[in-house]
Structure 1
Amino acid sequence: MAIGVDYSGNRHILDAEVANSEAEVNWRSFLEGLVRRGMHGLRMITSDDHSGLRAAIDAVFPGILWQRCQFHLQQNAHSYVTKKDDIPLIAADIRKVFNAPDRENAERYLQQLVEKYQKTHPRLAAWADENIREGLSVFNIPENHRRKMRTSNLAERQMKEINRRTKVVGVFPNAASLLRLAAAMLIEQNDQWQNDKRYLPESNDRPALNEIYRKKVA
């Protein structure tokens, strides 16, 4: 599923498909389909770190700004913490990085985090040094767009609702019937968004308004 935010700050369901896996070939076909249908002006993609999706993004949109979902980064960090009692403190330190006023301070806070946990949680420190920066691309867009563009939560919520509805049905006879249900739900959501207030405010950075923010989630 793909959700986009246009230059006016309004949300749109761009497309949805059913595939038998999250392999690169499936994601690549999906992304190429968006391009064929006229999607252009892409500025940034926000997603989780799925290898198939990342490879497809690099192939179809080389050089595009990619933001790794900060929520998923926080969740991933927990698996590198051996003492569960330390999770709240570590989570707060990671939030400090993400909530920094600018990229320079975010990098400084990240370095402090890595140094702080090198001895007590060396696996966490190494993971953070290698991965957290992928969640800092959002500092390259207007400040008043960052909070909503730093995670893929918008798309995650839609997927959660689709999963809930499909579980009620149980078994689908084929992929087409599953897609029909999902598409009906997404069309309804898209119509609702058109009557809602803007998802993102307009920016004084006029060139940024000529781009489309694109959110993608596995």
Structure 2
Amino acid sequence: AFRTRRLDAGPYTFVAADALVMKVREDGRVANVHAMLAVGVNADGHREILGLQTSSAEDGAGWLGFFRDLTARGLTGVRLVTSEAHAGLVAAIGATLPGASWQRCRTHYAANLMAITPKTSWPWVKTLLHSVYDQPDADSVHAQFDRLLDAVEQKLPKVAAHLDTARADVLAFSAFPKEVWRQ
């Protein structure tokens, strides 16, 4: 009943989506199952689990079915979706939530960035990246992001290129009022 309930506490302005791979027993063998989850911020400003669905693969078709189910149950008013940069997931968001902005999840992005950052540089690159999110207003966010690019450009050109390519994905939150950045 919970997984098929109407989503009538909306509008759900902000939604976060992610998946977790779990090993389960099926017919006497162990198989991977992808548990897709969406959490939204409801009209009262509280987080609410919107949906949980399992799939045999975390692919575009699975995500599209998941988001179609959410919208059919009443998911409305979404202005920003945060998720990993899985191409099928991003495409499903675009197909089912027209007009919603998309932002790459900070945690997933930091992990992707650290994968190309030399381990000895992790502490200062992480510190600079997190300083972008701690700014008081949108102009300061973008200015700090530029300072981050300047700081890594000479020593870590691959990191700088990665950051520059992901600018819009990482900074989408700054288009919203400061009061809702933490939501």
- TM-score bucket (shorter structure): 0.7 to 0.9
Structure 1 equivalent of residue 89 of structure 2: 53
Identify the match of residue 61 of structure 2 among 25, 33, 48: 25
Deviation at 1:142, TM superposition (A): 3.1
Identify the match of residue 169 of structure 2 among 134, 142, 153: 134
Q: Distance in 2 between matches of 1:37 and 1:61?
A: 13
Structure 2 equivalent of residue 11 of structure 1: 47
Aligned partner letter, 2:158: R
Q: Distance in 1 between matches of 2:177 and 2:142?
A: 18
After superposition, the C-alpha distances for 1:129-173 in whole angstroms (9 at most, x for unaligned) are 1114312222233323212x3xxxxxxxxxxxxxxxxxxxxxxxx
1:87 equivalent in alignment to 2:130: no
Cα–Cα, structure 1 residues 112 and 10, in superposed 2: closer, same or farther, change >3 Å? closer
Q: Distance in 2 between matches of 1:3 and 1:24?
A: 19
Identify the match of residue 124 of structure 1 among 149, 155, 159: 159
Is the helix fraction higher in 1 or 2? 1
More deviation, 7-16/19-28: 7-16
Aligned pairs, number: 147
Aligned partner letter, 1:117: V
Is the strand fraction higher in 1 or 2? 2
TM-score (norm 1): 0.63
Structure 1 equivalent of residue 181 of structure 2: 146
Identify the match of residue 64 of structure 1 among 94, 100, 104: 100
Structure 2 equivalent of residue 35 of structure 1: 71
More deviation, 48-57/61-70: 61-70
Which structure ranks higher in relative contact order (CA pairs < 8 Å, sequence separation ≥ 6)?
1
Contact 2:141/2:174 (8 A) holds in 1: no
More deviation, 65-74/27-36: 65-74
Deviation at 1:115, TM superposition (A): 2.1
Deviation at 1:8, TM superposition (A): 0.6
Query: Secondary structure at 1:45's aligned position in 2?
Result: strand
Query: Secondary structure at 2:135's aligned position in 1?
Result: coil
Aligned partner letter, 1:92: T
Aligned-residue CA RMSD (Å): 1.5
Cα–Cα, structure 1 residues 110 and 11, in superposed 2: closer, same or farther, change >3 Å? closer
After superposition, the C-alpha distances for 1:92-120 in whole angstroms (9 at most, x for unaligned) are 11111121212222211212221222221
Aligned partner letter, 2:125: I
Contact 1:17/1:30 (8 A) holds in 2: yes
Structure 2 equivalent of residue 107 of structure 1: 142
